[in-house]
Amino acid sequence: MFRNVEELVALAEKHNVKIAEIMIRQEIEVSKRSREEIIAQMDTNLTVMERAVERGLNGVKSQTGLTGGDAVLLQNYIKRGKTLTGPILLDAVSKAVATNEVNAAMGIICATPTAGSAGVVPGTLFAVKNQLNPTRQEMIEFLFTAAAFGFVVANNASISGAAGGCQAEVGSASGMAAAAIVEMAGGTPKQSAEAMAITLKNMLGLVCDPVAGLVEVPCVKRNAMGASNALTASDMALAGITSRIPCDEVIGAMYAIGQTMPSALRETAEGGLADTPTGRRLEAEIFGQPKDKLKDYLVSN
């Protein structure tokens, strides 16, 4: 039904429906499943997200000790009432961090669009929930809207850090979240596309350089920044601000950048933060002989 954002927006406008509805219709057509089955599956995904956020906010630690507990620190900081950026933004950040801390602790999360970027969409969703008071159905629609934009990125660029750097993972997740926030807040399909474009533009060139090859450092904190980026871009789009570069062209630029990005900066742990003195020290502490023991560690855990 749609191949790019331009077609997605045109369909939503033509049929006078939400982007979420266009995505549901496409899923029905492609999967040959009923509407009820498709919505039920997304409801299950939403439940997984809820449980991951709750678990993370209760405090978790990864087996390596590299990550854990930051979501709790943020919630405690919010409660003191002296934040600089405001409670909604920091709530989204804390819940994004909570989700990725659960992932690092080998917990169950919903990849949106990947495990390494799984915190941004639920983090923002459960933060704006307190502001917008959506129904359960509207929360499910939020995920379908995010999925529609993720579908476009996956089919026209990449959502893989190994293929395109972290811009393809956290960058895509942030754009997906921004588009969904705008729709939930009552914005138009075009405004959702603008939010996606504004968000993704500000994450172009972001490398994937996991310390010790693990989805912990700097991945967890990049989800935090992705959530804040999504919220800011959402407000900009709702205010009427547009992207000078169309959304599909931004996605195309991301793909081109990913293609020229050195392999050392695409999830190989050979460059960037992974190759700093501290990064190498942490790798050695975790694995002894880093590259030789990485595979065994991942298999056993």
The pLDDT of residue 213 is 97
The answer to whether position 45 is within a domain reads: no
- Is 120 exposed, middle or buried, given 0-12, 13-18 or 19+ CB atoms closer than 10 A? buried
Distances (CA, A) of 108 to 100, 111, 115, 169: 10, 9, 10, 18
The answer to whether position 70 is within a domain reads: no
Q: In this predicted model, what pLDDT tens digit does every residue of 152-182 receive, in sequence order?
A: 999 999 999 999 999 999 999 999 999 999 9
The domain of 127 spans 5-37+121-300
The pLDDT of residue 220 is 98
> How many domains is the chain built from?
1
Which regions in the chain score pLDDT beneath 50?
A: 290, 292-294, 297-298, 301
The pLDDT of residue 291 is 52
The answer to whether position 87 is within a domain reads: no
**Cα 161 → chain centroid:** 12
The pLDDT of residue 154 is 98
The pLDDT of residue 293 is 46
The pLDDT of residue 178 is 98
The answer to whether position 148 is within a domain reads: yes
**Tokens at 115, concatenated:** 């495990």
Q: What is the pTM of this model?
A: 0.94
The answer to whether position 242 is within a domain reads: yes
The pLDDT of residue 297 is 46
User: How many other CB atoms are there within 10 angstroms of residue 301's CB atom?
Assistant: 9
The pLDDT of residue 76 is 98
The answer to whether position 146 is within a domain reads: yes
The answer to whether position 240 is within a domain reads: yes
**Tokens at 273, concatenated:** 């933060």
Q: In this predicted model, what pLDDT tens digit does every residue of 7-37 receive, in sequence order?
A: 999 999 999 999 999 999 999 999 999 999 9
The answer to whether position 210 is within a domain reads: yes
For 81, what's the count of Cα atoms within 13 Å in the CB-facing half-sphere?
A: 0
